[in-house]
């Protein structure tokens, strides 16, 4: 039996792929070692925290094109991220809660694992990127909006960053996997996009929306990103993981 899990358990295990097919499809190869070590006929693959997923998708083409040193991210996360029935209405209506238990730690550690490497033998090596997260629960239903500042490995022009996002055509899109959206990332040029209500369903909830790229006087650049937490960040992401593993002959 193959388990494709949305839950946090096993995500950081040394022999378990924490997989986003657009980001680290090569990490799926860890399943061979996992089966050997655990003597399991099946396997377990996890998807990432629902805020880490769109963040890492936005960062991947920047890391591979320019190098990436530091990430500072503040999230505005929807109520559905807390599961059903979620928070009591009196806690969340007309409110923002600046704490989601364990979320900031997950965002920081999972991002480094996914942007890191996997090699047979040594296993996973986390990317040497400093990640600092602040997570907030806001009164939206679906869609996690995130404000990120980044320090890249070298000086680049804004047009180069947007081009890196727009030209990002990783394995799932090349292979046209059934759950893969036509575009993994979409950049909106309007000054007030992406917006949670209007942009979360792009690519049937599988596309990560980007916008508001501008210079940051502290880290270099800042931008806004948006991901659908219960589709790309949960079931849709796990389906795509399964499709990738089938394609690679790992199941």
Ligand X SMILES: NC(=O)c1ccc[n+]([C@@H]2O[C@H](COP(=O)([O-])OP(=O)(O)OC[C@H]3O[C@@H](n4cnc5c(N)ncnc54)[C@H](OP(=O)(O)O)[C@@H]3O)[C@@H](O)[C@H]2O)c1
Respond yes or no: is residue 50 known to be catalytic. Answer: yes
Instruction: Verify binding: residue 3, ligand X, rule CB under 6 A.
Output: no
**One of 50, 135, 228, 245 is an active-site residue; which one?**
50
Cα distances from 144 to residues 73, 79, 210, 248, in angstroms, run 12, 9, 12, 30
Output the smallest distance, CB 249 to ligand X, in A: 27
Q: Is 108 in contact with 48 (CB distance < 8 Å)?
A: no
The conformational region for residue 121 under phi > 0 = left, psi -120 to 50 = alpha, else beta, is left
Residue range at the interface with ligand X (CB under 6 A); choices 4-12, 90-98, 105-113, 117-125: 4-12
Instruction: Verify binding: residue 101, ligand X, rule CB under 6 A.
Output: no
Instruction: Verify binding: residue 84, ligand X, rule CB under 6 A.
Output: yes
Instruction: Verify binding: residue 234, ligand X, rule CB under 6 A.
Output: yes
Respond yes or no: is residue 144 known to be catalytic. Answer: yes
Single out the residue of 118, 156, 149 nearest to residue 14, CA to CA. Answer: 118
Output the smallest distance, CB 53 to ligand X, in A: 8
Instruction: Verify binding: residue 25, ligand X, rule CB under 6 A.
Output: no
Instruction: Verify binding: residue 111, ligand X, rule CB under 6 A.
Output: no
Alpha helices in the chain (DSSP H): 21-24, 30-38, 52-66, 89-92, 103-114, 158-166, 171-175, 196-199, 236-247
**One of 27, 43, 135, 144 is an active-site residue; which one?**
144
Q: Two tokens at 249?
A: 């002959």
Question: Catalytic amino acids?
Answer: 50, 144
- The residues of the shown chain that bind ligand X, judged by CB under 6 A, are 6-8, 50, 80-81, 83-84, 229-230, 233-234
């Amino acid at each position: 039996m193959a388990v494709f899990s949305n839950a946090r358990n096993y995500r950081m295990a040394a022999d378990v792929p924490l997989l986003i097919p657009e980001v680290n499809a090569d990490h799926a190869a860890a399943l061979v070692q996992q089966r050997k070590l655990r003597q399991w006929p099946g396997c377990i693959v996890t998807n990432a925290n629902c805020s880490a997923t769109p963040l890492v998708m936005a960062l991947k083409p920047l890391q591979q094109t320019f190098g990436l040193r530091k990430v500072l991210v503040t999230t505005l996360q929807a109520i559905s991220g807390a599961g059903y029935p979620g928070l009591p209405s009196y806690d969340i209506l007309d409110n923002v809660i600046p704490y989601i238990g364990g979320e900031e730690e997950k965002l920081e550690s999972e991002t480094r694992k996914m942007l890191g490497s996997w090699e047979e033998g040594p296993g996973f090596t986390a990317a040497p990127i400093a990640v600092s997260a602040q997570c907030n629960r806001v009164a939206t239903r679906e869609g996690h909006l995130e404000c990120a500042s980044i320090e890249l490995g070298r000086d680049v022009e804004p047009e180069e960053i947007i081009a890196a996002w727009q030209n990002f055509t990783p394995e799932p899109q090349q292979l046209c996997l059934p759950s893969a959206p036509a575009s993994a990332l979409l950049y909106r040029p309007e000054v007030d996009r992406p917006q949670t209500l209007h942009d979360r369903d792009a690519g049937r909830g599988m596309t990560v929306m980007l916008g508001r790229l501008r210079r940051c006087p502290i880290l270099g650049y800042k931008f806004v990103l948006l991901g659908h937490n219960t589709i790309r960040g949960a079931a849709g992401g796990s389906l795509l993981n399964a499709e990738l593993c089938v394609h690679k002959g790992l199941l």
